[in-house]
Amino acid sequence: MTADTTGRLCFVRHGQTFANIDKVWHGQTDTELTAEGYEQTRRLGAYFPQYLRADVIYTSPLQRARITAEAIASAFNLTVIHDPRLMEFDLGDWEGKRFADLVTEGDVLEQIIHNPDFTAPNGESQNIVKQRIVAAVDEIAAKHPNDNVIIVAHGVTISIALAHYLDGNTTLWPKYGKHNTAFTEICLRTKQLLSFNKTDHLNE
């Protein structure tokens, strides 16, 4: 860590789910954590107080993120704040499909990555996801400019936010893939990357 330990925004991906194991795009489907996912959240909650003082914790209301956030919050005696703008990319009718199927069905996965306006039936586009996640993060940053903020969310939404702030191009989001319960820090003021995909808690 650097000497400046305030004004940090820490993105945390939720614990492992059954959909993660099955390589299924679960999006806004409210899937459950596995036993390993619960263990990951326990380890994360035990680790965070040794690493960073948390002042406020926001989470997606989906249970996989909420349970992960609550494990961290309990270590700091904080109340979790729910924000639906932090929810995962909504793939509409394609939720529950395996990633392999999305590749073979008209190269849907390539469209999802490279075409910001591509929209799944009854779903949302990458641009819509960017608008809501960036609006949420900017609002949170403005409310807590000198605090250490933890945001617990989802793999794709966090990656889209990082690609927006660090690259100015959300189609680069796949390069920010993260492990379950991994955390990534940026400076609230400058949006400079401070750490990426940290999983030290899983090795303890």
Q: Which residues are catalytic?
A: 14, 88
13 annotated as a binding-site residue: yes
The pair of three-digit structure tokens given for residue 120, joined into one six-digit string: 């799944």
45 annotated as a binding-site residue: no
Q: Which residue has the tokens 């035990």?
A: 46
d(CA 182, CA 103): 26
d(CA 60, CA 15): 13
Minimal CA–CA distance to 182: which of 21, 38, 10? 10
11 annotated as a binding-site residue: no
Alpha-helical regions (H) of 53-201 = 63-76, 99-104, 108-114, 126-143, 155-167
d(CA 53, CA 37): 23
65 annotated as a binding-site residue: no
197 annotated as a binding-site residue: no
17 annotated as a binding-site residue: yes
Residue 74 CB contacts under 8 Å (≥ 6 apart), including other chains: 45
Q: What's the gap between Cα 87 and its chain centre?
A: 8
18 annotated as a binding-site residue: yes
64 annotated as a binding-site residue: yes
196 annotated as a binding-site residue: no
What does the CA dihedral 178, 108, 163, 141 come to, rounded to 10 degrees?
Answer: -80
* Residue stretches of the annotated binding site: 13-20, 64
Give the annotated binding-site residues for substrate.
13-20, 64
